[in-house]
């Protein structure tokens, strides 16, 4: 079922939209990969290449992806204020796109991006709030797991248990988090 939905969405995309999606995802992964290394400038080559490629597209979706990737780099470099400004800009672009017909999906919806990046810079209350919004807007496994992790960091076991339970019941759960969920849910039943 999920594969059929994804295939249908891909068929509706123009070649430019498919390329923006590919570049957005590649850039996001590259930006997230430099996070454990503090966003070192010498490691930003792949990120900068994707940003340059995205710049060739006049679409708002490309601008959204570009700003999201730049926010991820700011988070990797512990530049919270810059990250906050970039996230506000990404949220504005997301609202514009939603008003025009479709909120952005890549690299992630805005609330998931905010949750991921606030979590990365150890702002767990902000991460929890963003992931909570994400679970209400579009309850993806990533949003539920993010909410659970943020709630756990804040010592909120009730919310963490609820979120992990919801993640487990959401289609499309990556196998890599099955063990994490199972272990945490053992704590919930105790």
What fold, for 110-190? 1.25.40
> 37-42: which pairs have CB atoms within 8 A and are 24 or more residues apart?
37/76, 38/76, 38/77, 38/78, 39/73, 39/74, 39/75, 39/76, 39/77, 39/78
Output the pLDDT for position 2.
Answer: 43
Output the pLDDT for position 85.
Answer: 98
Output the pLDDT for position 171.
Answer: 79
3-state secondary structure the chain: CHHHHHHHHHHHCCHHHHHHHHHHHHHHHHHHHCHHHCCCHHHCHHHHHHHHHHHCCCCHHHHHHHHHHHHHHHHHCCCHHHHHHHHHHHHHHHHHHHHHCCCCCCCCCHHHHHHHHHHHCCCHHHHHHHHHHHHHHCCCHHHHHHHHHHHHHCCCHHHHHHHHHHHHHCCCCCHHHHHHHHHHHHHHHC
Output the pLDDT for position 108.
Answer: 96
The whole-angstrom separation of Cα 163 and Cα 134 is: 12
Output the pLDDT for position 173.
Answer: 80
The whole-angstrom separation of Cα 44 and Cα 115 is: 22
CATH 1.25.40.10 domain position(s) in the chain: 110-190
Q: pLDDT 10s per residue in the chain (190 long)?
A: 444 444 444 457 899 999 999 999 999 999 999 999 999 999 999 999 999 999 999 999 999 999 999 999 999 999 999 999 999 999 999 999 999 988 999 999 999 999 999 999 999 999 999 999 999 998 999 999 999 999 999 999 999 999 999 999 887 787 888 888 988 999 898 7
Output the pLDDT for position 3.
Answer: 46
């Amino acid at each position: 079922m999920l594969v059929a939905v994804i295939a249908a969405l891909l068929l509706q995309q123009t070649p430019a939209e498919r390329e923006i999606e590919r570049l957005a995802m590649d850039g996001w992964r590259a930006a997230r990969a430099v996070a454990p290394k503090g966003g070192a400038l010498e490691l930003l080559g792949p990120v900068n290449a994707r940003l340059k490629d995205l710049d060739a597209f006049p679409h708002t979706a490309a601008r959204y992806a570009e700003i999201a990737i730049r926010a991820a780099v700011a988070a990797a470099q512990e530049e919270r204020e810059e990250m906050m400004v970039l996230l506000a800009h990404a949220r504005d672009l997301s609202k514009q796109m939603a008003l025009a017909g479709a909120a952005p999906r890549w690299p992630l919806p805005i609330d998931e991006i905010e949750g991921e990046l606030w979590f990365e810079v150890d702002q767990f209350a902000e991460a929890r709030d963003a992931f909570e919004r994400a679970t209400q807007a579009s309850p993806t496994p990533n949003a539920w797991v993010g909410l659970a992790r943020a709630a756990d960091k804040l010592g909120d076991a009730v919310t963490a248990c609820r979120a992990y339970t919801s993640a487990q019941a959401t289609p499309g759960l990556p196998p890599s988090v099955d063990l994490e969920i199972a272990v945490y849910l053992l704590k919930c039943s105790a």
